Structure 1
Amino acid sequence: MTSVLKKRREIHGAIRDAAIREFARNGLAGTSTQAIAQTAGISKAQLHYYISSKEELYQDLLRDIVAQWKDIFFLSASHDDPALAIREYIDRKVRHALQYPDVSRFFAHEIARGAPEMTPHWKALKNAVEEANAVIRQWIDSGRIAPIDPLLFQMNMWAVTQHYAEYEAQARILMDQPGDAPLDADRIVAEATQLFLRRCGLIVDEDEKQ
């Protein structure tokens, strides 16, 4: 890789990170290209060399996030072990949310305002959810897990694992965790995993067996 190409990639990365940060805090309307450039550590003129508009950048980020989440998080049909699939999903999802909270907040901000910019991306998201629904239905039909609502199960897992990014300030207060210390990912993963495995009948308490 040439030094010029490396520099361009570095700037692209800085712009992406800066835009996610600014959009997560201020939304599309409240974010200026000047703010993005300043956060990225470049001039406004440099920024506009790499992007045509903040609206196009916003769409690019939504597209990238939906695609990335599909690849990383949605339950895979290759998982024949429901307990393993659920454990891995929750672990990846929680740790990603804690490591990249602005990504979650950016997406949540868009949804909270009615998702006016999501129209081009709903199909990809819904297709991924349907793929996971099909996997869960196979688990149910084969008796591997207890009967559940596949769609609501996914939505509930999403809500729980996203909570610690979208409501980080509240979580820190309630958990007595100072702002300069990472939240306890292991604790969060363990509790969420127990919650959803129990819902699927994959964990049974001793008193329930009797």
Structure 2
Amino acid sequence: MNVAQKKRTLMRDTIRDAAIREFARNGLAGTSTQAIADAAGISKAQLHYYISSKEDLYQEALGYILSEWREIFFLSSSRDDPETAIRAYIERKIRHALEHPDSSRLFAKEMARGAPEMAEHWPGLRAAVDEASDVIRAWIDEGKIAPIDPLLFQINMWAVTQHYAEYEVQTRMLMDAEPDTPLDADRIANEAIQLFLTRCGLAEPGEKE
């Protein structure tokens, strides 16, 4: 990749990240290209040099979020060691939610309005979930974890890990955490890990890290 290509890639990443922040706050309809340009630190004319439309940028943002979440699972996954895989996945997912909360918030906002922009992304999401379910079923068949519903297990992990982004204000209030103070990622991750390992029969109820 030459210097010009690197510069273009960096600018595209900057625009996408700015768009995710604005879409997470205001949704697709409530976000203007001017707002995205301002968030990216460029002019509106510069923005339109890099994007074809706000709608296409929204689709790009959704696809990027889903690809990140899929990568987190399969980087964490181990077909031979479910405890290591579950621990790694939950910790990475929680840290990602705390460090990049707007990704979860944008996705939640899209789901809350009935997911009208998700048509092209459902097949990829379904394939990733089915692939992960196959990994979990293999663990069950090999007697490595207790019988569980592979799909609902995944959905419940998403619900727990993404909660700390989607309900950050509530979490901060209940944990007495100031807005400029990082949430205690270790405390959050350890509790969630214990919850899901116990469900799989890989930890005893009440067992501590």
1:181 has 2:181 as partner: yes
Matches of 2:108 and 2:145 in 1, distance apart? 30
1:47 has 2:66 as partner: no
The CA deviation string for residues 5-29 of structure 1, in whole angstroms up to 9 with x for no partner, is: 4432332222111100000000000
Q: Which residue of 1 aligns with 2:203?
A: 203
Matches of 2:46 and 2:6 in 1, distance apart? 16
Matches of 2:75 and 2:145 in 1, distance apart? 14
For the aligned residue pairs, the C-alpha RMSD in angstroms reads 1.8
Q: Which residue of 1 aligns with 2:25?
A: 25
Q: Which residue of 1 aligns with 2:99?
A: 99
Q: Is the 8 A contact 2:145 2:200 kept in 1?
A: yes
Q: Which residue of 2 aligns with 1:66?
A: 66
Structure 1: where are the runs of 5+ without partners?
Answer: none
Structure 2: where are the runs of 5+ without partners?
Answer: none
Work out the percentage of aligned pairs sharing the same amino acid. Answer: 69
- The 3-state SS of whatever aligns with 1:73 is helix
Amino acid at match of 2:160: V
Misfit runs of 4+, over 6 Å: none
Question: Cα gap change, 1:141/1:10 in structure 2, threshold over 3 Å: closer, same or farther?
Answer: closer
Number of residue equivalences: 207
Q: Which residue of 2 aligns with 1:170?
A: 170
Q: Is the 8 A contact 1:75 1:135 kept in 2?
A: no
Matches of 2:161 and 2:40 in 1, distance apart? 28
Matches of 1:117 and 1:80 in 2, distance apart? 37
Q: Which residue of 1 aligns with 2:128?
A: 128
Q: Is the 8 A contact 2:77 2:85 kept in 1?
A: no
Q: Is the 8 A contact 2:110 2:116 kept in 1?
A: yes
